[in-house]
Amino acid sequence: MKNYLVQRGLSTIFIILAVVSLLFFLFRLVPGDPTTLVISPALDEIAQKRLLQLYGLDKPLYVQYCLYMKNFFTLQWGQSFFTQENVSAILWYRFWNTFSLMFLAVLSALFLGAIGGILAAWKRAKSFDSVVLIGVTFFQSTPIFFTGMLLLLLLSYKMGLFPTGLMHEPGFDSKTMLGTFLNIDFLHHLALPLLSAVLYYLSLPLLIMRSSMITALGSDYLLIALAKGLSNSRILFKHAARNALLPLITIVSLLTGYAMGGQVVLETVYSWPGMGLAMVESVQHHDYPVAQATFGLMAIFVITLNFVTDIVYCFLDPRIRY
């Protein structure tokens, strides 16, 4: 197992380096002078000259590349063209805003999807299974922004039950980071985006859990468990579900990648101040440093999570551990 993990770790590092490098070269392809990538036209001559030196724009390409990589991994992501703030400072808050929503959404989707999948597999009755499958497919097919808009229309505009967006009421101020997230106002604003997200992400875990449960329920050890006189709940959860869980873990990384993409649209609909919205806004404002850093951060987050999921899987499957 150790070999496998080391191999995966190296692979992860390689992919991160490759993606970040790719990012460098991609942004080089932006039409126009590469200096516009880092130097805001709004700055004065001296500042421009300083930045020119910092990014080595007067030096050959490979030097610029090395400088870029060094800067990137030391979290020196420049300053926003739009607000002149340090990009890393902006993204720090944006990251946690996105994370709070995404983490809860993915976790809820996994949990509810797993339960739904177990039930759908257990009750192989044609009607229940069909209803669940069609329902889930429908939610998966409805673009997340459409669901968002529908929920906004119904629950927010028409019924006034939930706010129309943002993370807090305007004027909200909290002293601490945790305080931002641990209060009713936050939860109130969280409700609709969370609901839209969970409905959209639910289908994948549900379908995977259902199919792996069907496999587990048809296995020999399950028949023996039944013959041993174990109770139905024990068989379902301790034996079948425990085995069916393994394929589910593999899709956690897939789901998170999926969710990261979904956040972009979700945050736009709900004006949720996260990385997704940062991405969109930065493109609208031609704010390249923010766009670049946001993309890089998103990618690194997803790639790292893939690796963590692999580790977790190794621990859960004794066939790999021993």
Site residues for another protein, window 108-127 (CB under 8 A)?
124, 126
Structure tokens at 37: 């990538």
Out of 225, 250, 285, 311, which residue is the one contacting another protein (CB under 8 A)?
Answer: 225
Name the minimum Å distance from CB 127 to another protein: 10
Site residues for another protein, window 28-67 (CB under 8 A)?
29-31
Out of 284, 308, 312, 315, which residue is the one contacting another protein (CB under 8 A)?
Answer: 284
Which alpha helices (DSSP H) does the chain contain, by range?
2-28, 35-38, 45-54, 61-73, 87-122, 126-141, 144-151, 177-181, 184-201, 203-217, 220-227, 232-233, 242-270, 275-284, 288-316, 318-321
Residue 295 in contact with another protein, rule: CB under 8 A: yes
Beta partners for residue 86, in sequence order: 79
Residue 294 in contact with another protein, rule: CB under 8 A: yes
Nearer to another protein, 180 or 314 (CB): 314
Long-range contacts for 231-236 (Cβ within 8 Å, ≥24 apart)? 236/118, 236/122
Residue 298 in contact with another protein, rule: CB under 8 A: yes
Nearer to another protein, 27 or 99 (CB): 27
Out of 188, 230, 247, 285, which residue is the one contacting another protein (CB under 8 A)?
Answer: 230
Beta partners for residue 79, in sequence order: 86
Residue 322 in contact with another protein, rule: CB under 8 A: yes
Long-range contacts for 10-17 (Cβ within 8 Å, ≥24 apart)? 12/303, 12/304, 12/306, 12/307, 15/303, 16/299, 16/300, 16/303, 16/304, 17/69
Binding letters toward another protein, positions 127-146, x by CB under 8 A: --xx--xx--xx-xxxx-xx
Out of 279, 290, 293, 314, which residue is the one contacting another protein (CB under 8 A)?
Answer: 279
Site residues for another protein, window 6-25 (CB under 8 A)?
11, 14-16, 18-19, 22-23
Q: At what angle do helices 87-122 and 184-201 cross, to 10 degrees?
A: 60
Residue 306 in contact with another protein, rule: CB under 8 A: yes
Name the minimum Å distance from CB 290 to another protein: 11
Name the minimum Å distance from CB 60 to another protein: 22
| CA dist., res. 254 & res. 260, Å (int) | 10
Which of the stretches 52-60, 177-185, 189-197, 283-291 binds another protein when contact is defined by CB under 8 A? Answer: 283-291
| CA dist., res. 300 & res. 308, Å (int) | 12
The residue count for binding another protein (CB under 8 A) is: 80
Out of 51, 247, 258, 311, which residue is the one contacting another protein (CB under 8 A)?
Answer: 258
| CA dist., res. 75 & res. 301, Å (int) | 14
Residue 160 in contact with another protein, rule: CB under 8 A: no
